Amino acid sequence: MKIILKKEQITERVEYLGAKISADYMDKNPVLIGCLKGCVVFLADLMREITIPYTVEFVRTSTYGESRTSSGIVQADFFDLNVRGRHTVIVEDIVDTGLTLSYLITTLTKQDPLSLKVCAFLVKPGAYDAPVTIDYKGFDVPDEFVVGYGLDWNEQYRGIPYLAVVDEKSL
């Protein structure tokens, strides 16, 4: 596996994002919506860098099966989430085709939040062709399959503390 983001680089960027969100949402008590499961490591670190009051909820989304090809179908479990009247920030691990994010934005918009923004740890090139805006971005990554810092390949590697590219031959 080839390391593409070191632990230190990630830490520095998450500190920056936490400070930015803290400044932008001062007195707004936002709700952060973590997209399981990939968000967990990023969200846990981000939460400890946000210095203002906020709450946390989760949705569970999936598009990918066992291969890297998206099935094109988004499945989501909202766990009785209701963001009506709340300043809302979706926290994603990675935006690739933007399909998951579009689906979440459409669904959450119907709940009438006070505002709705997106914080994504990673953005792949394809995301820029999708009709989604990423308000808070960690890093751009190349169009390769990346793992670590919460991201998995076949449910493995979520716990590695840096970001790596899996050898294509092993996929």
Say which residues have a Cβ less than 8 Å from residue 95's Cβ, sequence separation at least 6: 101, 118, 120, 122, 123, 124, 127, 130, 132, 134
Whether 96 is catalytic is: yes
Answer yes or no whether residue 96 interacts with ligand IMP by CB under 6 A: yes
Half-sphere exposure (Cβ direction) of 140: Cα atoms closer than 13 Å: 5
- Measuring CA to CA, which residue among 55, 94, 60, 93 is closest to residue 76? 60
Say which residues have a Cβ less than 8 Å from residue 55's Cβ, sequence separation at least 6: 29, 30, 31, 32
Residue 92 identity: E
Six-digit token string for 19: 């400070």
Candidates 34, 38, 113, 138: give the one binding ligand IMP (CB under 6 A).
38
Six-digit token string for 50: 């946000």
Answer yes or no whether residue 38 interacts with Mg ion by CB under 5 A: yes
Answer yes or no whether residue 138 interacts with Mg ion by CB under 5 A: no
Annotate each residue in 82-121 with x if it binds Mg ion (CB under 5 A) or - if it does not, as one string.
Answer: -----------x----------------------------
Residue with tokens 């840096």: 162
Candidates 95, 104, 118, 123: give the one binding ligand IMP (CB under 6 A).
95
Residue 107 interacting partner from Mg ion, ligand IMP, none (CB closer than 5 to 8 Å by kind): none
Contacts of ligand IMP in 3-22 (CB under 6 A): none
Quote the DSSP letter at residue 157: S
* Nearest CB to ligand IMP, comparing residues 27 and 155: 155
By CB under 6 A, the count of residues binding ligand IMP is: 18
Answer yes or no whether residue 100 interacts with ligand IMP by CB under 6 A: yes
Catalytic center residues: 96
Residues that bind ligand IMP (CB under 6 A): 38, 63-64, 70, 92-101, 145-147, 151
